[in-house]
Amino acid sequence: MVNNLHSKTIKQEEKLTAQLASFQEDIADEPISVIIKGQGLASELNEEVELALQDHNEAMMLDYLATGKRLHLCMHEWGKKKGSYAR
């Protein structure tokens, strides 16, 4: 009786181990395909960005960066004012 129970337990453990190994392989293989798809999309986006940057001169790029910085500072000041009203 104990031997039967022991052999059943071992068989169940082996079955579960095989299932777990299969799940681990599936999980390990999935990110690789996602990464490959993502690299293709990133490459396409990089090409679009490069084409867009070719249409801008240095003065336009500098103005864009300065405007972004001004927006950031305005949002920061707004957040400080809003925080002081809440107190």
> SS3 for 1?
coil
pLDDT digits (tens, 9 = 90+) for 36-84: 676 777 778 778 878 877 777 888 888 888 999 999 999 988 888 877 7
Residue 55 in 3-state DSSP?
A: coil
Same domain assignment for residues 61 and 43: no
pTM for the model: 0.34
As given in the structure block, the two tokens for residue 52 are: 């867009």
Contacts of 53 (CB under 8 A, 6+ apart): 61
Please check whether residues 8 and 30 belong to one and the same domain. Answer: yes
Residues 68 and 29 in one domain: no
72 DSSP assignment: H
Residue 42 belongs to what domain range? 1-55
- Same domain for 35 and 48, yes or no, is yes
| Total domains, the chain | 2
Q: CA 41, CA 33: separation in Å to the nearest integer?
A: 13
Q: Does position 87 have pLDDT exceeding 60, yes or no?
A: no
